[in-house]
């Protein structure tokens, strides 16, 4: 238990240091904010002294110095106005630094998304990852805005008021300093209790974000299966947990401010009693007692403000913990220093004794070997889960193999830069991915500098040019998020046009025509036949009619190639492929 507490404390300290590292580039802005804080507090502390002087000028019966009081009030008004201006400038400086830090955090998280292995992204809820870059960074930003502001002005306020109080009456100042630390002990105790709840609150917020992201993204499926009530119940369960831990966090943390204010009330009481006795003995004037009471309140005010923002600070630390746990994830191993850039790729692929598993306890592919030569059409068929798409992920280095070798043009894929390897492949997947951009920008995603003639030619080969030309803005028409304003077939044709434009030396077609009608499929298949000439092509298919003309058909089952050959050879053999063919084309 003690080691767990020590670990949490160490983690919080490390996170604070790392946030401080993000603040270091903006130290000039922070220093300027500190200067404004000193000016703001200095002028704020001047007002009570001036008010005390004015009271002393009006204490005697029939002996009121109106001229002196007027001058003092004028000076007080000027100091208050100037203090407000400096406080405003301090807040601007703090906001600038805090929002710059938030920007840098979001930038680093976004870059991290591009450098972590796909295994990490696949094993975490996308909504939770989105929550870290939005909600958790916002929590850190709110904590910075509150914390820095209170820290700057609070330290200067404490030191300034302490100096003035010692100057006026050291004994009363000693009493104030003696009682005030009680509020810090109370705040520290409550902080320990509430910290766990704030950490749980951040975690549950990420879980809720993941649920909502999945629900909104798959709303059609939810409605199609009438799953609204079950989905609502799942949402309510997470939302209720968030309510409970949020209420606990706020409940425990809400004790901090009233508790410290109670201690501060004791301070004010002690000052009044001690000051009254001093005034009776003639050691302090009535005006200075009033000044002292004001200073005592101002001395304790920073403690109140710090405890008042404990919820934001706790939430910020919890958010920082989730942010830095993401940033600390291992990156994809970088290319070795001697890695070569794959140029003039011919498309000769040799796969030898490759083994792979997503989970060590559950082997998926074992002892897989394959030789592919330039211009070959290699079809991969087999039941769902046999490893067809996994093989594509290994070729593209989305996942690293456990054993064996994969060579392209005689070079290991791990001796080639990942970027040049992936540029050598053109992929059309079953799930079409489009971006919230124009049709032209979506087609040129892999070749941004393509000319308009090249774009139109690619669209023509993909048989989507007629549809695009009928649109009001043609190629400048905006595509909604993930192509929501297009049909599934149109989205897939757009992705095919994207590959047509790049014209890479190797192709991967993973159910590339699954959402296209039969007539269009014939035309697109003709376009594929044209683009596949001289290129090594991998065709993953469930519809066996699309791979009948393949040079080699690999029949996979349980991660192994159980049959290999042309369509006619496999049919004649009468094995597993023949059974698959018969199940699709046998008469009813």
Per-residue pLDDT of 435-485, as tens digits, reads: 888 888 888 888 888 888 888 888 888 788 888 888 888 888 888 777 777
The reported pTM is 0.64
Residues in the chain, pLDDT under 50: 1-2, 4, 587-588
Bridge partners (DSSP) listed for residue 408: 349, 411
* Cα dihedral: 28, 31, 33, 36 (round 10): -130
In the chain, the N- to C-terminal Cα span, in Å, equals 68
pLDDT at residue 308, rounded to an integer: 60
For residue 344, count other CB atoms closer than 10 A to its CB. Answer: 7
Q: What is the pLDDT of residue 1?
A: 46
The Cα 123–Cα 309 span in angstroms is: 35
**pLDDT for the residue numbered 458:** 85
Cα gap 373→390, rounded to integer Å: 21
The tokens for 140 are 């850190």
Cα dist from 403 to 120, 139, 375, 385, 400, whole Å: 21, 44, 27, 20, 9
CA distance 529 to 434: 24
Bridge partner residues of 565 (DSSP): 553
Confidence at residue 512, expressed as pLDDT on a 0 to 100 scale: 64
**Domains along the chain?**
13-24+99-327 (1.20.1560.10), 435-503 (3.40.50.300)
Q: What is the rounded distance in angstroms from the CA atom of residue 454 to the CA atom of residue 88? A: 56
Q: What is the pLDDT of residue 507?
A: 84
In sequence order, the β-bridge partners of residue 16 are none
Q: What is the pLDDT of residue 165?
A: 75
Dihedral angle computed from the Cα positions of residues 225, 226, 228 and 234, in that order, rounded to the nearest 10 degrees? -60
């Amino acid at each position: 238990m003690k080691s767990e507490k020590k670990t949490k404390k160490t983690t919080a300290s490390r996170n604070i240091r790392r946030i401080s590292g993000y603040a270091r580039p903006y130290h000039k802005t922070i220093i300027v904010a500190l200067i404004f804080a000193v000016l703001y507090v200095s002028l704020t502390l001047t007002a009570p002294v001036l008010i005390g002087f004015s009271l002393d000028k009006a204490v005697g019966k029939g002996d009121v110095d109106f001229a002196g009081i007027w001058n003092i009030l004028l000076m007080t008004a000027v100091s208050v106005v100037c203090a407000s201006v400096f406080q405003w400038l301090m807040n601007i400086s703090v906001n600038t630094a805090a929002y710059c830090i938030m920007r840098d955090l979001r930038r680093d998280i976004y870059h991290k998304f591009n450098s972590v292995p796909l295994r990490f992204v696949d094993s975490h809820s996308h909504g939770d990852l989105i929550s870290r870059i939005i909600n958790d960074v916002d929590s850190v930003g709110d904590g910075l805005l509150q914390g820095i502001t209170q820290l700057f002005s609070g330290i200067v306020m404490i030191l300034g008021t302490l100096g003035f109080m010692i100057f006026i009456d050291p004994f009363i100042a000693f009493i104030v300093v003696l009682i005030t630390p009680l509020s810090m002990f109370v705040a520290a105790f409550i902080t320990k209790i509430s910290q766990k709840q704030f950490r749980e609150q951040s975690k549950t917020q990420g879980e809720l974000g993941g649920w909502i992201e999945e629900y909104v993204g798959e709303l059609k499926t939810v409605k199609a299966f009438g799953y609204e009530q079950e989905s609502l119940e799942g949402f309510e369960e997470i939302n209720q947990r968030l309510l409970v831990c949020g209420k606990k966090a706020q409940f425990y943390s809400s004790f901090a401010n009233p508790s410290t204010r109670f201690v501060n009330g004791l301070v004010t009481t002690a000052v009044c009693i001690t000051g009254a006795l001093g005034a009776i003995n003639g050691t302090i004037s009535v005006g200075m007692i009033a000044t002292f009471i004001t200073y005592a309140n101002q001395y304790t005010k920073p403690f109140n403000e710090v405890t008042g923002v404990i919820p934001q600070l706790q939430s910020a630390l919890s958010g920082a913990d989730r942010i830095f746990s993401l940033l600390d994830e291992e990156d994809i191993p970088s290319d070795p220093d001697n890695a070569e850039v794959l140029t003039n790729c011919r498309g000769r692929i040799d796969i030898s004794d490759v083994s792979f598993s997503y989970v060590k306890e559950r082997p998926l592919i074992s002892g897989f070997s394959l030789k592919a030569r330039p211009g070959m059409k290699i079809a991969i068929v087999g039941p769902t889960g046999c490893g067809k798409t996994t093989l594509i992920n290994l070729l593209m280095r989305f996942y690293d193999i456990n054993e064996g070798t994969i060579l392209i043009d005689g070079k290991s894929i791990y001796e080639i830069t990942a970027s040049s390897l992936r540029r050598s492949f053109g992929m059309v997947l079953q799930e079409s991915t489009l971006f919230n951009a124009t049709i032209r920008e979506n087609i040129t995603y892999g070749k941004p500098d393509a000319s308009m003639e090249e774009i139109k030619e690619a669209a023509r080969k993909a048989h989507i040019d007629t549809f695009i030309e009928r649109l009001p803005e043609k190629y400048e028409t905006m595509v909604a998020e993930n192509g929501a304003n297009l049909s599934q077939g149109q989205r897939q044709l757009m992705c095919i046009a994207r590959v047509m434009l790049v014209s890479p030396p190797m192709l991967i077609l993973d159910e590339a025509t699954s959402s296209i009608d039969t007539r269009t499929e014939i035309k697109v298949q003709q376009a594929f036949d044209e683009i596949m000439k001289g290129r090594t092509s991998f065709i993953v298919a469930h519809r066996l009619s699309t791979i009948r003309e393949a040079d080699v058909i690999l029949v996979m089952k349980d991660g192994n190639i159980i049959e290999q050959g042309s369509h006619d050879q496999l049919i004649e053999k009468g094995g597993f492929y023949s059974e698959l063919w018969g199940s699709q084309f046998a008469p009813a």
